[in-house]
Amino acid sequence: AEEANTWKLLHCLYADSITEHPESLECLVTETTLSQQTLVSALFRSDSELRLLQLLVDWLEATAAYQDEATKTSAPVIGNNIHWSNTLHQLLIGTSLFNKDKNKAMVTCMDPDAPRRQKKFIHSDDQKDDNDLCKRIFTEVRCGKFADAISLCISAGQAWRGAVLQGWKLLHYLPRDDPNSPLEITGNPSRDLWKWCALGIANNVAENVHYRATIGILSGHLGSTLPACQGSWEDLLWAHLRVQIEARVDKFLHEHQATADANTTPADVLELLQSELQVEELSLHQVFSAVKALMDGKRESLYQTCQRHLMLGHIRAIMQDSLQWLD
């Protein structure tokens, strides 16, 4: 599998290198007002470094998806339109011989914020189901299957969680045949405000580790994502690259606020977000150094070393290392 992944990496890097890309952003941005999605798409087309980071993320997600399908051992999350059905059942029946949990310790409301607000618990079976769901959601996002992650939330009766996951999407205006027809949008006009709220989840150590990681990676918060990576080279690299992309996109949008139409972020929210979400811009070489420091003493495999050299464009280093491996 590692050899196949290496060839796939080489293919996507080569395919991008022979594709013609615009030399500057200015030749793509011709209108005075553009949606965030249109602006960022133009940025990716014109910025070769950012495009490389995204290529690597796409490759890491594709390889993770293939591995997940090939080695899937976890039980599927059971679809259930009723949110926390065991808790609901226990609240309805009250005290009985079959009541395993103390009623005083259990929530008395069924809204998603009840456990935190009341400082009480849901049914132990529901808690286990929640943990399984959060882990599966993170896996889907890690595999680049964002739509599947949303569907998973809905099928588990937790559409609210799926809604939370969609706050990072860029604002975009759908094309109109009639200029006088109402403007339809996709994405989140209050994306920065969502990020600031999402940081509360990402920083909350009482939350499920995989839910924190999912929210963290979507909002560009590296610290909350790392525990779910468990020292894996691929996962750590994916997390670092996604956060770097998110930070650069945010910086670009904030610099082009006058161009991105309907950017509704108030100055005080933007100031709060920038004070709480500070990401150092790293080169790809620095990213690999950061990943190495987090691998808990584990070493790269020979294929991973080869992949790193390919990503950095160090072709001669591959040949030199290969000779050492043969010896």
DSSP E strand stretches across the chain:
172-173, 185-186
Q: For 111-135, what is the mean pLDDT?
A: 91
Per-residue pLDDT at 34: 74
Q: How far is CA 306 from the centre of its chain?
A: 26
Lowest mean pLDDT among 149-163, 192-206, 265-279: 265-279
Q: Which of 10, 26, 6 is nearest to 18 (CA)?
A: 10
Would you list the domain boundaries of the chain? Answer: 2-75+189-326
Full-model pTM: 0.89
pLDDT class for 264, splitting at 50, 70, 90?
low
Can you tell me whether residue 186 is helix, strand or coil?
Answer: strand
Per-residue pLDDT at 260: 53
Read off the amino acid at residue 246: E
91's tokens: 């609240």
**pLDDT of 145 higher than 90:** yes
Transcribe 253-267 into DSSP letters.
HHHTTTTBTT----H
Q: Which of 153, 120, 163, 134 is nearest to 227 (CA)?
A: 134
The pair phi, psi for residue 121, each rounded to 5°, is -115, 160
314's tokens: 């160090």
Q: What's the rounded Cα separation, in Å, for the pair 294 and 307?
A: 18
101's tokens: 């949990």
Q: Find the angle CA(22)-CA(170)-CA(268) to the nearest 5 degrees.
A: 115
Question: Do the Cβ atoms of 161 and 112 come closer than 8 Å?
Answer: yes
pLDDT class for 8, splitting at 50, 70, 90?
very high
Q: Which of 199, 188, 121, 201 is nearest to 161 (CA)?
A: 201
DSSP category for residue 220 = T
Per-residue pLDDT at 99: 53
